[in-house]
Amino acid sequence: MSNKSFYVSPIINSGGGGNNTPIETIKVNVKDYVLNLDFKSNVKTLDSKSNPKPLDSQSLNMNFDYKYSKLLNPKVLDSNLNTKAMNPKPLDSQSLISQLFNPKFLDSNSNLKPLYSRINVKTLDSNPKIRDINFKLLNPKSLSPSFLSLICASVLLTIPHSISAKDNWVAIGNDTLDTTTDTNANKVTKALTNKQISASQTKEYKNLEITNTGSITNTNANYAINIQNNATIESITNKGLISGSENHNISINTSSIQSFENIGTITNTNTGKFNFNITQGTIDNFSNSGIIDSKGYGIALQPNTTITNFNNTGTILAKETSGRDAVFINKATISSFINGENGIIKSEGNRGVGINILNGTSITNFENKGLIQTEKNTGNIYTDEISASISVKNKSNIETILNTGTLKGGKVGIFIVGGYGNDIPYIATIDNKGLIELTNNAEAGILTTTYASIPTIENLNNSGTIKGGNYGILIETGFIKNLKVSGTIEAKKNIITFFNGGGRPYNTKIENITIENGGLLKAGEDGLRIGGRNTLPSIGNLIIKEGGILQGGDNHSAIAIDADPQHKFTGNVDIQGTLKGGKAAITNSSEMGGNIIMGSNAKVEGGIVNQGGNIAGNIEIQKGADFKGDIKNEDRVVTNSNGTTTTIAASLSGSISNASDSPLNISNSGNSSIGGSITSSSNAPLSITNSDNAKVAGNIEVSGDAPIVIKNEGNATLGGGVSASGNAPISITNSDNAKVAGNIEVSGDAPIVIKNEGNATLQSDIINSGSGNLSLSNTGNASIGANIKNNGSGSLSISNTGKVSDTTKIESNGSGKVEVEEWLVSTNSQGEVKPLEITGTNLSVVSVSNVTFDAGNITNLSSLVQDPKNVINIDTSQDTTISNPAEINSKVFAKAEFKTNDPSVNVNVDALSKTLSFSVDAAKTSAAALGKTLISNTQARANFVNAVMGNAMNAVNLIHNQGSANVYSNFNKAYEEGAIYANFDNLGSDALLRSSETKDKNHLAFMLPYISKSNTSLNGGLTSKGHTKGVIFGYSYLNPNNKDIYGIYGGYDDFSSKTYPSDILALNNRTYYAGVRYYHPFNYKDYELFSKFSSQFGLIQNDISERVGQTEFKGEPKSYAYDANVNMGINIKLNTKHTLTPEIGLGYNGGYSKAYTMSNAINTITRRNYTHKMNLFKTKTSLSFYSDWHKHFKTLVYAGVDWTMNPNVDNPKGRYSNIGYYGGGESKLDNLEYALGTTLVIPLNDAFYFSLNYGMNGTKNTTMHTGYGKFNYMW
């Protein structure tokens, strides 16, 4: 050291750059010791040759002052040499001594090299005694005050004398700042207007404080506080007011501040400026407990700014202006950002953001304990301009976002936006333990979107609440690795959904979703919706733990996967909690790659709908699960842009298993498929419907004790078999064109009913191995392709009126009874007779009740007469207990009853010879029915025309006989007894029923359209339903000389009928007819006697169809019909308004059908029907009552009966090619027919009138209802 005096200056200068002030007292805190170094008496002018006096305890006053302890902090010493200042800390012996003896530390602080040069570390290290002092004795409790005094004095005496003083702040306008109260601070204690305080040089400046009486108010372009050019400040405190309008209030550029604290107010009314702007600056601690508000940005942290701790317990507000943020963080670095419990960060303008983090900003820990809010629901979710509480954009990186307070988003709570290229925003963890609340019609609690890159969130945890928006989490593009919910997420639409505004990367994924106990996800529409425009979204695994709830809306699903091959649920759905939807729990129209597992505590409501989608895994319902709803596998129909449709089939590649006690309904329809098996081991009812063209490839296996219903219909296929080992009833229906490929086997105690109907097929064996009873029915054109076996103690009951394969046999191998209730003997694939074949090891339990012969398919029924084995063939080779095979055959044959499937073919059994013969009952043939219908229709038509023409003639007659009343005549002809076709309606007609002042009208023409419907009860529970529609035209002429009336008419009608519910007989015909009428009156004073005659002829083209089993016979016979009637009646005038008319008569009806042949397309069997004639004579009576209420309103009611005098008619004759000739005998028709009716007549003028009519007629087995209108014109 040079031979000159020196002084140790304090760190904070006492003046604005003036002379250094000597230190009088330095007080040092060394952990457990307090040293007061008093240099007044002992520190003198030193030089290199002089030695200071030793310091003793008397010269050291034991006192402490914290502020001077900084002299001994190497970091502070280093900062005085234009290096970064650190926060002062009390020094203890470890921090002081260890740093003093650390070569690296001393070497890195060049100004301490004089000290370093005085301390020879090598010497210390090489000297054991000194090393012991260095490493052992430097324990605060082991150091004496004298020793510490020596150490501290040595340090102080070796501090370089180049330490400089801090500069004062510069105030524009030469305003002086208060420096008297604190030598280390500049203070604003009064109101300053349009002033600027600056620290703009590369210097260390004193602390700055705006006191509660101080303020800086600028209306010009001045900054209130301007810091730049690497200025260094220890602390800035605002307790007063800083207000600006034309520029930034506070501007910090490339400078360093240890502490900035706002307790007062910082406000700015300039909408385009930053209230508090930092660029390339450093603040160790930023604290706001006051108010920072602005019509521009509240606080802006610009590129390359570093803040160690940001704490807000006050208010930071961006007011009113659109697009302005309360806190704007642009490419800055923040270690800790905390908005405290009372902190408010708020943006009020449109598209404003509470905290906007962008362009590569890095934040280690972000925590909100207070309120971060945006008020306006504005902005476009397809851009990055949107109102959000927190916005994270571009390449920003945040380790943790923790919310224990409230985020109130105008449109979005947390908004994450990716940039271009590699500008990927990354957030390691978002942890919401507080509230994210949105305004009405806001978008989402959390929304991710992008321009090109994919925003990434490693962990998203919600143990708090997200509510109020349309969506909980809305993802345009983004990746979320783990989403965990133990709190509540409520959304008006979807909890999670995806979208793409176009021009964005498509891949979007949530890898894992876990809903913890207490977690509630409640949506107004679909809960998790995987879909959206132009997106390729996917979700990996979903776990709903016990106590967790995922709930969709009333008409929606908890999970919905939209129709697109790229919309995927790639992992498993593991449900231990609640999954609930009004429409369905899960609706899949795309891809599900994993299993759907419902655990023992799961509660699933709404079922699973796979609509044109693919489920690659299994569906498993474990024991204890509560499953309500169906499992549906069905097609999805898509309407293309050109109006055409495309059908997309669903696929469930795995299996379905149910072990729960919840009823399960499984529906597989359309062209869909289930690739695996369906198993049920529970005691809950199971219903399976496989329909349309659907397919179940695996087996259906049931081992529980609950009822099972299986329906295989349409063109569906069960590729496997059905096995049941439980004890509950089982029903299997295979119908239409459906097929069961595998065996059906029952091994439990349950009764089972199997129905094979329509054109369905059971391809494999049907086996009863248990103690339950199996009932099998095979009807229609359905077929059984293999054997029917009874191997257990349960019974087997069989009713077969369908088809069996050439090799089908009944096997009786168990102790249970085998009863053939009905069996259809038909032909095999070669056209040969296929008898009933029975075999097995226990034939003693076999019985046959009824055998039906297929009369329409066996080409030579007479061949069955020769050998009973052609009918029932019992193979006794496997039953070792039978010694006389012929006896068992005879026994079974003797108990059976025989018939055919054609009512017209009878079976005759010879009890002695055990042979059969066949005959035809002519009265039950279709030819007989055709004849009866022909006669019935002819009679009905004749009576109908007679009434129509008769009343028309009376109308002309009344014109010339005003005092005479009109005659109404009608008989309704119904079905003859035994007829099975709808009758032609003989409808009551209206009369003109009016008087005329004129007597010169003697011509009348009319048109009458009519329609009728009928029902006829037949034997065997059948009903014939028919209808007729037609039209008739007629003309009448009145001879003015003798009052006789002559009439002619012609018409056409179309008639059709068939039987229900079995369509065994149908008739369609077209009739063309014509006829003549004659009417002669005998006039008296108070009444009128009349007679009339009519005759009619018709040509009928018939189309008849008769079904015998699966064989349909068709023929097209021609028929002719004719009739004649003579009637007499009288009109009795009761008064001027009412007339009563009784009438009697005789009638004849005849019919003739030409010979015709009925054939079929299956085989060579024909049915030839010969010519058939019928002639009937009848008596007729009727009574009608006419009322003339008004000139334009008249009514008529009537009743009548016909009695057939010769009801016995000859049966037709013919020949069946597979039986022989038939014919002979008579059939009796029903004698009595009745008719009731009413008519409303509305005359319009003397020439024209029309009427509305209703009639009912019938016999014992027939009812007919008819309505028609009639139009008349006279001249």
- pLDDT digit string (tens) for 425-464? 999 999 999 999 998 778 899 999 888 888 999 999 999 9
Give percent of the chain above pLDDT 70.
78
β strands within 1111-1171, DSSP E: 1111-1115, 1118-1133, 1138-1153, 1156-1159, 1166-1169
- pLDDT digit string (tens) for 1159-1176? 998 888 898 989 988 888
Please give the structure tokens belonging to residue 943.
């009576």
Q: Are 1104 and 1129 in contact (CB under 8 A)?
A: no
Residue type, 107: D
Instruction: Say which range, 336-345, 387-396, 671-680, 1022-1031, has the weakest mean pLDDT.
Output: 1022-1031
Strand-pair partners of 1177 = 1148
d(CA 532, CA 551): 20
Which residue from 1070, 1165, 1077, 1154 is spatially nearest to 1114, judged by alpha carbons?
A: 1165
- In angstroms, the Cα distances linking 1121 to 934, 937, 979, 1124 are 7, 9, 16, 11
CB contact set of 1009 (below 8 Å; sequence gap of 6+):
1029, 1030, 1031, 1268, 1269
Q: Are 259 and 287 in contact (CB under 8 A)?
A: yes
Please give the structure tokens belonging to residue 129.
């005694």
Instruction: Say which range, 233-237, 425-429, 808-812, 920-924, has the weakest mean pLDDT.
Output: 920-924
Residue 280 has pLDDT above 60, yes or no: yes
- pLDDT digit string (tens) for 12-53? 333 333 344 444 444 444 433 334 444 443 333 333 333 444
Which residue from 480, 509, 639 is spatially nearest to 563, judged by alpha carbons?
A: 639
Burial (CB count within 10 angstroms: exposed 0-12, middle 13-18, buried 19+), residue 507: middle
- pLDDT digit string (tens) for 67-95? 333 434 444 434 443 333 334 444 444 44
Q: Of 323 and 198, which is predicted with more confidence?
A: 198
CB contact set of 617 (below 8 Å; sequence gap of 6+):
572, 592, 593, 594, 595, 596, 653, 654
**Using the 8-state DSSP alphabet, how is residue 1149 labeled?**
E
Supply the mean pLDDT for the chain: 80
Calculate mean pLDDT across residues 1219-1233.
83
- pLDDT digit string (tens) for 539-584? 999 999 999 999 999 999 999 998 887 788 899 999 999 999 999 9
Q: Are 606 and 627 in contact (CB under 8 A)?
A: no
Cis peptide before 663 (omega within 30 of 0): no
- pLDDT digit string (tens) for 283-306? 999 999 999 998 888 899 999 999
d(CA 1067, CA 1025): 11
Instruction: Say which range, 518-532, 770-784, 860-874, has the weakest mean pLDDT.
Output: 860-874
d(CA 1032, CA 948): 10
CB contact set of 133 (below 8 Å; sequence gap of 6+):
none
CB contact set of 1243 (below 8 Å; sequence gap of 6+):
992, 994, 1191, 1192, 1194, 1249
SS3 helix, strand, coil % of the chain, rounded to 5?
10, 50, 40
CB contact set of 1196 (below 8 Å; sequence gap of 6+):
968, 990, 991, 993, 1184, 1185, 1186, 1187, 1238, 1239, 1241
Q: Are 687 and 666 in contact (CB under 8 A)?
A: yes
HEC string of 228-240 equals CCCCEEEEEEECC
d(CA 452, CA 716): 48
**Nearest 10 degrees: CA dihedral of 657, 610, 537, 528?**
-80
HEC string of 1217-1261 equals CCCEEECCCEEECCCEEEEEEEEEEEECCCCEEEEEEEEEEECCC
Calculate mean pLDDT across residues 1051-1071.
84
Residues in the chain: 1275
Q: Position of tokens 């003093």?
A: 100
d(CA 935, CA 1100): 12
Q: Position of tokens 């006096």?
A: 53
